[in-house]
Amino acid sequence: MIRSDNLTKFYGTNQALHGLSFRVRRGEIVGLVGKNGAGKSTALKILSGQMLPSAGEVFIDGISVSVDPRAVRARIGYLPEVAPLYREMTVEGYLKFAARLRNVEAGALAAHIEEVTKQTGLSDVIGERLGHLSKGYQQRVGIAQALVHQPPVILLDEPMAGLDPLQIVQIRDLIVSLRKRHTVLFSSHILSEITQVCDRVILIDKGKVRAEGAEAELRRQATRPRQLSLLVRGSEKNLNDALRNVPGLREVSRAKQQQGQWRVRLTVQEDAREKLSKACLEAGLGLLELRGEHDGLEDLFLELLEADPS
């Protein structure tokens, strides 16, 4: 549905994209992740037909952005980093204007507006002026304008930036609700949010794809050992037996705590939580706590970014 072939973009002498290539299949929700300046927004601007690439080609629904930008723009809904809202307009007036710009016929306008306001939870503020809305509602209106003509492809640039935790959850649920009906590509810095919403993640750095796949696939590509934190109750002998029975563990620290409890920190190449918990129970230990430490997505992405691309 979305195809980026060897996309290159220069801003003067500064090269923002270095042959960016990826695919997004119909009905997928894909997250574009990368550091500031990685080229996420530039890629989305080119995909939305807002700017042209210096080299390379983009196809939306099989149509080249360079050859027929107008047809491509009719097939996308785009939310930039700052929602493009005319503050003096009402929500209804704005959505009508956006729908008419995207060739929605006058007769179908009311149905489109009703559906999108229900979908984005804007029914209560339909008559409000955009300038009077909260940041969360403004972001919803921004998403609504991208959806109002029911395009097959939705492009969202940092849709959760600047929102409070409750608003992030609401926007996340909204994006999830788009699954199957639309193909969604969105960028975000909030990595945990991206993996909760996306089928796949594309990690870009310095204008190139560095890794892509589902979260589990990306984890498999990571080689850095993970840390586990274990809290058990029992004798030290039983603890040693349990640890010995799990291959690949390396003990980092051990501390005896009150009431016969032991806090042990371990490193491990693969996720060994299941094996370790079983070993503890078989050794007669009381398993009080077992959790992964410092194996967050941020670390995973940093590791992938630090890896030599060649």
For the record, the structure tokens of 11 come out as 């801003």
Q: Which of residues 99-138 bind another protein (CB under 8 A)?
A: 100-103
Which CB, 142 or 234, lies closer to another protein? 142
Point out which span in 21-29, 98-106, 178-186, 187-195 binds another protein (CB under 8 A).
Answer: 98-106
The nearest distance, CB 22 to another protein, in angstroms, is 20
Q: Which of 6, 37, 55, 82 binds another protein (CB under 8 A)?
A: 82
CA of residue 88 relative to chain centroid, distance: 32
Residue 59 touches another protein, criterion: CB under 8 A = no
Point out which span in 83-91, 119-127, 132-140, 172-180 binds another protein (CB under 8 A).
Answer: 83-91
Residue 217 one-letter amino acid:
E
Residue 7: CB atoms within 10 A of its CB come to 26
For the record, the structure tokens of 40 come out as 């996420």
Place of tokens 């498999």: 220
The nearest distance, CB 70 to another protein, in angstroms, is 5
Residue 89 touches another protein, criterion: CB under 8 A = yes
Please name the residue ranges forming H helices in the chain. Answer: 40-47, 69-74, 91-101, 109-120, 135-147, 165-177, 191-197, 215-221, 236-244, 273-282, 297-306
Residue 287 touches another protein, criterion: CB under 8 A = no
Q: Which of 58, 85, 194, 264 binds another protein (CB under 8 A)?
A: 85
Q: Which of 70, 216, 253, 258 binds another protein (CB under 8 A)?
A: 70
Q: Are 174 and 140 in contact (CB under 8 A)?
A: yes
Residue 15 touches another protein, criterion: CB under 8 A = no
Residue 51 touches another protein, criterion: CB under 8 A = yes
Number of residues that bind another protein (CB under 8 A): 27
DSSP assignment of 64-104 equals: ETTT-HHHHHHTEEEE-SS----TTSBHHHHHHHHHHHTT-
Q: Which of residues 217-256 bind another protein (CB under 8 A)?
A: none
DSSP state of 259: T
Residue 179 touches another protein, criterion: CB under 8 A = no
Residue 49 touches another protein, criterion: CB under 8 A = yes
Residue 86 touches another protein, criterion: CB under 8 A = yes
Give the residue among 135, 294, 146 at the shortest CA–CA distance from 224: 294
Report the C-alpha gap between 167 and 92 in whole angstroms.
21
Q: Which of residues 191-210 bind another protein (CB under 8 A)?
A: none
Report the C-alpha gap between 160 and 187 in whole angstroms.
9
Place of tokens 């979305």: 2
Residue 302 touches another protein, criterion: CB under 8 A = no
Q: Which residues bind another protein (CB under 8 A)?
A: 45, 48-52, 70-71, 73-74, 76, 78, 80, 82, 84-89, 97-98, 100-103, 145
